[in-house]
Amino acid sequence: MRVLVIYENPEWTPPIERALTAAGVAPELMAIDGGPIDMSGTPEDAIYLNRMSASAHTRGHEGAAETTRDFLGWLERHDRRVINGLGAFKLELSKARQIEALESHGFAVPRTSVVEAGEGRFGALVEAASGFDGAFVVKPNRGGKGLGVEKFDSVNQLEIAIEAELIEPSPDGLMLVQRYIEPADPSITRCEFVGGEFLYAIRADTSGGFELCPADGCGEGESEDPQAKFSLREDVPREQIEACEAFCSSEGIEIAGIEFIEDAEGKRWTYDVNCNTNYSPSVEANHGLDGAAAVAGLVRRELEKLAPS
C-alpha cells in the first residue's frame, strides 16, 4: 500500500521524507499547487498523510487549501485512511473554529470577535475593537506562521495601521479581534502531539513578534538565528497535557501543535491549534527528540494495521 504525502510547501517535506524512509516507508509526494486533480471514480486505496498548510496562499497557492479540503472529503467518502483528515483540516483553516472548539472543551480562551473584513473593508475591525478594554490583537482567520498577527494598544493605533494599509487580510474575508493576554514573560508554549499523544513542548520567545514557525527555513533573513527563540519546556502542567489529548481525540486530530500563554496570575489561555505542525531542529538536536520520526512511526503502524493478514 502506498503512502501519499499531501503537501504544498516543498521546504517542509524533507524531514518527513527522511523519517518515513528511515522507518521503511517509501513516501510519494502529492503536490497540491494549482495543477489538476482527478476526483472522478474511486481514489487509490492508499494511506494519505495530510501536510497541507493554511499559509499556502502566501506562497502563491491561493486555491490549495480549498482544493485540499474538497479532496479530503472525497477520500473520506470512499473510506480512505487519511492522517489528519477533513475534521482536523477544517480546524487548521479557521482560527474562529479553533476558538469555538477549544472553549467547548473547557479551555480558557481569550475573548474573540469574528469580523467580516476583507481588503478595503477594515472599518468593521475598528467597530469590533472599540468594544475591547486594553490591548488587543488583530489576526487573519486563516493564517499560518504567525503572519498578519498584530498587537494594538488602542483603537487609534489600529486606525493608523488601516490608513497605512498595514493590515493583512485573510483569504476567507474574516478577521479576528482578540483580547491581548499579557504574559508572565515574553513567551508562549507549544505542545506537540503525535497520534493524539503528547510528544514534548517548546517555549517560543515572543519579544521579537508573533511569527513563531519553528521549522528550519522559517525566519530566513532575520538578523539573528531564528532557532534561538525556541527552547524545550519540561514543566507543562499535566492537566493541560491531558486536556489537549482529550481535545485531539474528540476532534479527530492526530498530529498537532497546540499553543497556550500564561498570564502573571498563572492562568493558562489556550488559543491556537496547528494541525500542520513543524518541529524545531535545534530543540530536537539538543534534547534527542524527533517529531518527524514520531509521525513516521504513526504512519508505519497504520500501514501494519491495513496490511493483508
How high is the pLDDT of residue 201? Answer: 98
DSSP element (H, E) containing 246: helix 238-251
Q: What is the pLDDT of residues 230-246, one digit of tens each?
A: 999 999 999 999 999 99
Distance CA 52, CA 217 (A): 17
Which ranges in 78-219 belong to alpha helices (H)?
A: 86-92, 95-104, 123-129, 155-163
Handedness of CA 36, 42, 47, 51 (dihedral sign): positive
The parts of the chain modelled with pLDDT lower than 50 are 220-221, 223
Distance CA 9, CA 5 (A): 11
Length of the chain in terms of residues written: 309
Amino acid sitting at position 120: G
How high is the pLDDT of residue 221? Answer: 47
Of the candidates 52, 76, 8, the residue with the CA atom closest to the CA atom of residue 252: 76
Crossing angle for the helix pair 238-251 and 95-104, nearest 10 degrees? 110
Distance CA 53, CA 37 (A): 18
